[in-house]
Amino acid sequence: MPDKYYIKTYGCQMNELDGSQMGRLLGKHGYQATQVPEEASVILINTCSIREKASHKVYSDVGRFRALKLRNPEVILGVTGCQAQAESAHLHKRFPYLDLVVGPDHTGRIPELIEKAKREGGQQVAAVKLERRDDYQFLNLLPDEAESAHQALVTIMKGCDNFCSFCIVPFVRGREVCRDAEEIVAEVRDLAERGTLEVTLLGQNVNSYGVGRHAADPNALSFAKLLRRLSRETAIQRIRFTTSHPKDLSEELIEEFRDNPKLAAHFHLPIQSGSDAVLKRMYRDYTREGYLEKIARLRQARADLAISTDVIVGFCGETDAEFQDTLDLLEELRYDSIYSFVYSERPKTTAAQHFADDVPLEVKQERLRRLQDLQNRITLEKNVEWVGKTAEVLVEGPSRQGTTYSGRSSQNHIVHFEGSEAEVGTLLKVKILRACSNSLIGEKDVG
């Protein structure tokens, strides 16, 4: 019987891809995946450190999986990802029975470190130091047959040079490094030839692709030009990307939404706060007015564009008036959806070192409730506007209800409809009949 591995992933799509890549590497070394941790000889908790709540869940998991290791000391138990990078020493001290502590820059060493742990025992560590940016290696292992064939995640860059005062990403993912454009085009071409219809390009700040490492290279591609090449030189049908920083949103990229039919009609552009004073304390390097102008140009370029955002409430020093600025912004821009969070202090960040986390938790939670109530109303109103229209849906599989199928529209709406297993992985026209708070319901458009 081959050894089995179990990977539990928290956090963003980059973490999801890192988890998949670790699984693919282990598969090449003879391991099989399992969804049952009790069956596994290798258990990896792939972590996120962006928010405090995710960190606490990891501590709980490590404690819970310890029982499996006590039952079978040969089980390899490891923590990987951003929290491993940020809290290596703390994890060692709190959980001395861990076999692996591996930061995201060392994902490719997972099989090697597991074998070393089996031979030598003791903790194998690859998290205490980030490599130089020119040493970083991008993994480009293609999905295997057991994974979704119609959607794929593709890393185009890593790290971030912005150092927003609340954000730990530069400390756990390092500085910006752009992957070579030829590699990206080749990977997407290979995916399309294997039947993938949609790719999502990943990076902490994809808008700055080509600006950092390649700034002195006159032949470097901008992000917009990379999108154009992928559209023209591969058979991929739909292209998404995340995440973008407003300060780096170029006019060239806005025009790409107007001109490139393969670019999904959805843009996630984090605002974080509607208050200029809060944005300044966050070190975001744009103003409310400048952000509004860019959204207006995006909507002018593509009328059916859906826009989503991130919002943090209760950041250091946020007053009632500053929070009201954020509510007013939501009313004005009418996002299709938002991801919203209460501020939690993260180690090493400028905010943690220099700003007081002085908004009481109960105030943060009440502000979050008010923000989400407002956005829930707006989202439903925006969804209702789709009734009677037709959306192009990439069918993902049976819906949770089990009686219908579901997929995502170009605008990233979840759409439910009567379908069949044969339609999974295809693009269908679906006429929208009814709107719900978080999804749309329709029927196949046979006209």
Q: What are the angstrom distances between the C-alpha of 368 and each of 48, 222, 374?
A: 21, 37, 10
Q: For residue 71, is pLDDT > 80?
A: yes
pLDDT of residue 84: 87
Confidence of residue 145 (pLDDT cuts 50, 70, 90): low
User: What's the whole-number mean pLDDT along residues 153-171?
Assistant: 92
The CATH class given to the 4-129 domain equals: alpha beta
User: What's the whole-number mean pLDDT along residues 146-152?
Assistant: 77
Confidence of residue 425 (pLDDT cuts 50, 70, 90): very high
What is the CATH code for 267-385?
3.30.750.200
Fold of 390-444: OB fold (Dihydrolipoamide Acetyltransferase, E2P) (2.40.50)
pLDDT of residue 135: 52
User: What's the whole-number mean pLDDT along residues 156-164?
Assistant: 92
133-264 and 267-385 agree in CATH topology: yes
Q: How far apart are CA 326 and CA 328, in angstroms?
A: 5
Confidence of residue 336 (pLDDT cuts 50, 70, 90): very high
The percent of residues above 90 in pLDDT, for the chain, comes to 71
User: What's the whole-number mean pLDDT along residues 24-34?
Assistant: 93
The lowest-confidence range among 52-61, 309-318, 330-339 is 52-61
Helices (H) and strands (E) counted in the chain, each on its own, are 14, 19
Q: How far apart are CA 345 and CA 348, in angstroms?
A: 9
**What are the DSSP calls for 303-366, one per residue?**
TT-EEEEEEEES-TT--HHHHHHHHHHHHHH--SEEEEEE----TTSHHHHHS---S-HHHHHH
Q: For residue 424, is pLDDT > 90?
A: yes
Check: CB of residue 100 under 8 Å from CB of residue 122: no
pLDDT of residue 128: 47
Tell me: the pLDDT tens digits for 87-144?
Answer: 888 888 889 899 999 888 888 889 988 998 888 876 666 554 555 445 556 766 767 6
Name the burial class of residue 67, with classes exposed (0-12), middle (13-18) and buried (19+) by CB atoms within 10 angstroms of its CB: exposed
The CATH class given to the 133-264 domain equals: alpha beta
Instruction: Give domain limits for the chain.
Output: 4-129, 133-264, 267-385, 390-444
Q: For residue 86, is pLDDT > 50?
A: yes
User: What's the whole-number mean pLDDT along residues 133-160?
Assistant: 74
Check: CB of residue 138 under 8 Å from CB of residue 174: no
